[in-house]
Amino acid sequence: MADAAALEIVERRVAAELRRERAAGQPLKAAFHAVARRLGLSPRRVRAYHHREVEAEDVRAAELLAAHAAMREELDALCARLDAIRGLIGVEIPGATGRWPGEAMAQARGSRGGEGGVLAAGRGLAARPAGGSP
């Protein structure tokens, strides 16, 4: 089950990065190379994810970490844009205190905010007894 989730995360990130490159006018082969550089993969591996040739058990930890880091960068960029928009229109949004949406929740649970907060929260969930309460 965890292997399938890892595969889905990496496939979605590769697809999102490829869409971004294609929207910028890059041909598919050039987009494979650009995404490979960004994620630290080979162009052939990016193509394999694009064509869904990678099996769930073949996802490498480094690929999952690279996809997580790329998602994190995208979220940080979106939060920065939202902060800029809030500053322009002078609106305070209740509860919007962190740089990223889950930061306040992660800190409330005692996990580390910022980089690694999502992973720490996941470890906390995995450590719970089955059927038990938090």
Give 2-32 as a DSSP string: HHHHHHHHHHHHHHHHHHHHHHTT--HHHHH
Q: State pLDDT tens for residues 79-125.
A: 999 888 888 887 666 665 555 555 555 555 554 444 454 454 445 44
**pTM exceeds 0.75:** no
Q: State pLDDT tens for residues 33-84.
A: 999 998 989 999 999 999 999 888 888 888 888 888 888 988 898 999 988 8
Domains in the chain: boundaries: 2-93
Torsional sign, CA 100, 106, 108, 111 = negative
